Chains A and B, each alone.
Chain A
Amino acid sequence: AAAGFCPCRALLARRGGALRALCGSVRGLAAGPETHFGFETVTEAERREKIYQVFESVAKKYDVMNDSMTLGIHRVWKDILVHKMNPSPGTLLLDVAGGTGDIAFRFINYVRSVRDRQLQRKLKHHQNLSWREISESYQEEKLKSLGDSQVVVCDINKEMLKVGKQKAQCLGYSEGLSWVLGNAEELPFDDDKFDVYTIAFGIRNVTRIDLALQEAYRVLKPGGRFLCLEFSHVSNPLLSRLYDLYSFQVIPVLGEVIAGDWKSYQYLVESIRRFPPQEELKAMIEDAGFFKVDYQNLNSGIVAIHSGFKL
């Protein structure tokens, strides 16, 4: 579908791919097994390098591009993810590939409002409070407005974390939030630590998805939940064609116009097509050891939320 619009670019890419395949066969053994980068074939090491560069270059305009590409619907998707999580105060969340902190901020808001409601209910129950008790409850509110909940944002890319930290400062999120540089395939955390592990629009960029899933299993507490929000496979044929048209014709153009970066957004739409569909991802999650694995399609498959439990 893309070839119609930009034949010269496609030709260049194919020639580049053929050349790379020739050189790759020579040094391929050293650089690791073959994998894909968008519609190209690269080695694993190359892929990691390329993806790092992609996100380094888009970091500053990441949020703006998200809004313009999805017409703001990505906010709804992320809201639905946090609602599905339904975190209670005291939950420890690990948000992997959460660079600019969207999920983390939503989590904090949600937990804060749940905690407020809890405190209100408690106050309503105890009708005859002494003045001391009332003042203590106000103090408690200020100290524990999150009720011991914490979110750790982990990302492999320094630029994305930088943007996220700046956003947090701007929006005024300070407590219960920490930023860690780490690789999803090799998390720098102990076993059995987190209540919930989320990865929103990040697992597509992980080179070895099975390793990332195993790491997720490792760091989750027993009973912990794995949630993955990702672009997925549209089954409706009409919608699928419209979606393809939009993806390959409009999004790279937007990328060039808004962020000055055609290739990164070309990579983005290609990587969406290369990502396994819902059932395959579900099988991979089950392979990693999760139970009660299920997925929920949003917008008839454009995005899917996969959920699994470590039991």
Chain B
Amino acid sequence: KMAAAGGLRRAGWRLWRGRAVVRWQLYPPQRALRAWAALRSASDEQKKEPFASPPQQPLDPHPGDQQPQEDPQGPRPSYTGQGGQESEDYESEEQLQHRILTAALEFVPEHGWTAEAIAEGAKTLGLSAAAAGMFHSDGSELILHFVSQCNTKLSELLEQEQKLVQLGEAEKKPTDQFLRDAVEARLRMLIPYIEKWPQALSILLLPRNIPSSLQLLTTMIDDIWHYAGDQSTDFNWYTRRAVLTGIYNTTELVMMQDSSPDFEDTWRFLEKRVADAMNMSNTAHQVQSTGEAVVQGLMGAAVTVSNAETSRAVR
């Protein structure tokens, strides 16, 4: 009975699969159609179409249409590609997810780093709130997205400054000043979200998120040192990054509970820490050169002694 059933099952599913395959082959041409229609409509005058309904089905206007009709930029770019301002007429899932997360950031001060903020963000893009189900319910992706956005902004800022210096329009800053300004600029990006940032820090420390958050942190520190002109290839590379990571983390924590106007206390703390780090490196240099001198002295003494021995032996 099992063999017969198995045979029947296989035959049955082959039939269904055949149908499914045919249907799937129909789909790509349909999608290309929509994309082509989008290209044409994008070049035509803007017209507000009902959102994302396939061309075959009648576009019946139903009462209680939830799409906001006022949209000064024209039809909203949708995944199915009907009407769009962007040069691409469709976007990948990743890009859509990034757009949702970016839109969600403005709801963070009110809802915190949660799935609710993501749901509100999705709603502003015209999607259903259920789209927040694409992300984890504790808001980790939102925080990681925000952190990577801030890091990108910081890199761009440092790049621009470097260009100005290269063009000769600005002076090259001394290292400690450079580090101070870079860390301050980066921390200032947290100010709009400062009330909910402790929550974000705790979520970033969850074991699941540690690899990503650590990677973002290290790339940011690496960027700062790169633009500070660090070209070391020896052990200094590690010590420099470790020191700056320590400075950044401690300053961030101080900022969390700083209530002074415009976070003055935080910047003063930062200044002191950077100065300490510089002193430490000077001390390290001194120790190193002293150490080298001592070693050379010992080597010289050893050579002298061995020469004396050989000369005595010869004699």
Interface residues of A (CB under 8 A from B): 1-3, 10, 14, 33-36, 39, 41, 84-88, 90-91, 190-193, 195-196, 209-210, 218, 220-225, 273-274, 276, 280, 283-284, 287, 289, 291-292, 307, 309-311
Contacts and interface: CB of A to CB of B under 8 A. Distances in A.
A195 B128 contact: yes
Contacts of B133: 84-86, 225, 307, 309
Given A190-B60, A192-B52, A222 B126 contact: yes
Contacts of B116: 88
Contacts of A35: 12
A39 B8 CA distance: 8
9 contacts: A3-B1, A36-B12, A210-B19, A210-B23, A220-B128, A222-B128, A274-B12, A276-B13, A287-B24
Nearest to A209: B16
A41 B11 CA distance: 11
A39 B52 CA distance: 41
B8 A223 contact: no
A192 B51 contact: yes
Contacts of A86: 115, 132-133, 137
Given A36-B9, A191-B57, 19 more contacts: A1-B2, A39-B8, A41-B8, A192-B52, A210-B19, A210-B20, A210-B23, A220-B128, A221-B128, A223-B126, A225-B130, A273-B9, A274-B9, A276-B13, A291-B79, A291-B93, A292-B134, A309-B133, A311-B93
Nearest to A270: B5
Contacts of A10: 1
The 10 closest A-B pairs by CB, nearest first: A223-B127, A223-B131, A223-B128, A225-B130, A221-B128, A195-B128, A195-B130, A222-B52, A311-B79, A224-B128
Interface of B: 1-2, 4-5, 8-9, 12-13, 15-16, 19-20, 23-24, 27, 50-53, 57, 60, 62, 66, 78-79, 93, 96, 115-116, 119, 122, 125-134, 137
Contacts of A90: 129
